[in-house]
Chain A
């Protein structure tokens, strides 16, 4: 204590300036690290600053546009309506699930079980499609089932109990897959009856030249984006992804929000199951293996951060589209489809690397 007193901190000092003058001075000093001095800034620095100011989806949108232009120029078959319809329809299930995964990744999570859950939902679809229920009821039942399955398992165990999302969703990946295979003995089931008709329309119709499946997927992405950007729910998800402790102290019901996001992601899986099953008019319990990785790759390509706290639906839309166009380009050029993984992987790693540069800028 003697030292403190000798130091004289408790002593009043002569005041030569008004408090506000000192304060302004202090802010000037404190703030000089943030604003920068344009006079000395190099051109490179200003370019970097501009790159840093771009939205996270700018890269993937640019890349997709360039890819589409290149494919249009080099492949006469690319710009045919038949080809484009097939690409857009083909990417729809992944795009729908990307909407849910973008929400999850904003929270700082991913759900590894979505591919398996999609297969399980398809098996349910095949099971109830021939029961004579109205088609729309069948569709809604499948979507509700997938939402509930994801929310009550992953959502509850991760959000409420507090288990690791990785372990829980990895476990569910194998459980859901088995649950799809057990009743079907691993054999694809045909879709029948009223359910099949609705499902077939949703996946294969092209009203006004636009594939219904893609339109549905696009609307889902749009709704998810609106939910996240225009409601306090979205605000809460970003808050938890950014700092869960701070969110809890702010009174946000963290566990409930996590459960809801897993449930919403499950709903998108249910929709994807319908779009996917409708394509072949059958439910293959072995379908969708590795889909979770395609979805995550598309979302990350779009510029959403794996760290949580920020997700971009525009980015996810273009990320998924980019992968689809790459695959299509390879197909049209007669390249073996196995090369697609290499291209996607390289682009993914490069994209994340570029994102790092953007953040450092």
Chain B
């Protein structure tokens, strides 16, 4: 069905892929694995016709597809779903689904009502809970992703590649996506599934191909693999993939957040974090976990009070939060954390204008000092401080965001998904850093989607669901219990509590 034959690709002299071959049969769900920079995404982009390979060929049903030619992929029924949803926000779900091939599908000039009906039929048939007439910009991030999946379905794609699509999806939508992918497989599509989460491989995939340094390392049925072996193939050796942070000594209460968030029973919740404590916040995307961090950091105006040490923090101003000693590592590194087009030095100096004052004199050397400090303290690997921050790996980008905060030595650190999209080695370094910070008496609030990570790092975990605190867990709790809490399974009683009639009955 899909054959990639001896694909070579160099980017300005740097090898991205060398002699990679793989074959996916109809109905097969193939995982494509490898560390960041191993060439997975490049391979998918070659398949998608976005970039041209230097050597080798892409064949679908033994027909060679021309390199760097996106339209030919449509003809050959190749569909690709990326990590971010590429959708037109102002158009309806139906229009987005038929975006690429209105003409081919004979839909040009088709009344939008008929297009909508047709789209709705596909959505219903595949169990995708979307309204075909809804404006895509009104949908959540997750739903927008489903729109992209629906587009691939509408194209009747026989070969579908998912490039880290699950990285930004909530657990709930990952399930939905898996159901869809399985059905695609049952209908005879060949699936290439790129992911960083190994659990997904065991849950979804039939076989797995591992790339390392741009070369094919192994292709094997998933049944013959285990986590250790896959990690060994990816990194070249085995590592402990689970990290358990030893508890640090806890001091006095550093951060108190009052009345900003409610419990499931509608009571005001007081969130307190001690010096040296890591408070984990568990919750699905949209459960209010980022809102909580943003409220503490003063980005959202709402009632309640935030106290850092003995200082009340003025809500509504990040500068005030920073003055009070609160630092935030935002969720979306490229959008909120870095100017990817600017130099490493400029990014490393980002906090200076606010911390020192606009009227202060600065210098080239000051920026260089920041970079040097980061190289030492967070082991930043940046060969040249003049290079754009966007040219660094995800892990090193994150080290800049974290490193410059550490220079400010905040007493409270808010970490929103600090290890998203970074490779295994860099993750481990971030874990080490979190541990060191806690040992030095920093109070840390940590949001993380990966439960093993949250469990391994946190001293205490609060679970959020629908913007409310559902439950609080001590260290060493079972992942299943948290999973139940954040998906709202354990909530029957509290839901009844919210109903005024049942409250009266009690």
Contacts and interface: CB of A to CB of B under 8 A. Distances in A.
B356 A13 contact: no
B335 interface: yes
Interface in B220-267: 226-228, 231, 235-242
Contacts of A1: 479-480, 483
Contact of B37 (A30, A241, A251): A30
Contacts of A243: 335-336, 338-340, 342
B22 interface: no
B354 A252 contact: yes
Given A29-B38, A34-B392, A17 B480 contact: no
B318 A10 contact: no
Interface residues of B, number: 86
A3 B330 contact: no
Interface string B323-361: 100001010000111111110001101111111111111
A7 B201 contact: yes
A194 B441 CA distance: 68
A252 B346 CA distance: 14
Contacts of A3: 199-200, 202-203
Given A30-B423, A232-B359, A236-B353, A7 B236 contact: no
B383 interface: yes
A16 B237 CA distance: 8
Given A22-B235, A25-B425, A251 B322 contact: yes
A246 B353 CA distance: 13
Contacts of A242: 339, 341-342, 346-347
Interface stretch (B13-21, B133-141, B149-157, B305-313): B13-21
A228 to B, nearest CB: 10
A355 to B, nearest CB: 13
Contact of A17 (B212, B239, B391, B426): B239
Main secondary structure of the interface of A (DSSP, over half): helix
Interface size class of A (residues with CB under 8 A): 35 or more
A160 interface: no
Given A7-B201, A10-B479, A17-B238, A33 B227 contact: no
A9 interface: yes
A37 B346 contact: no
Interface in A248-290: 248-253, 257
Contacts of A241: 339
A30 B354 CA distance: 33
Contacts of A36: 12-14
Interface stretch (A42-50, A78-86, A210-218): A42-50
A12 interface: yes
Residue from A1, A8, A38 with most neighbouring chain B CB atoms (10 Å) = A1
A336 interface: no
The 8 closest A-B pairs by CB, nearest first: A26-B425, A242-B339, A251-B354, A3-B203, A41-B13, A236-B353, A251-B319, A7-B199
Interface of B: 10-16, 35-38, 198-203, 212-213, 226-228, 231, 235-242, 297, 299, 317-319, 321-323, 328, 330, 335-342, 346-347, 349-363, 381, 383, 391-393, 395-396, 423-426, 428-429, 432, 451-452, 455, 479-480, 483
22 contacts: A3-B200, A13-B240, A15-B238, A22-B237, A22-B239, A29-B423, A29-B425, A30-B426, A33-B14, A34-B393, A49-B12, A231-B360, A232-B360, A232-B362, A233-B358, A242-B339, A242-B342, A250-B353, A251-B323, A251-B351, A253-B319, A253-B354
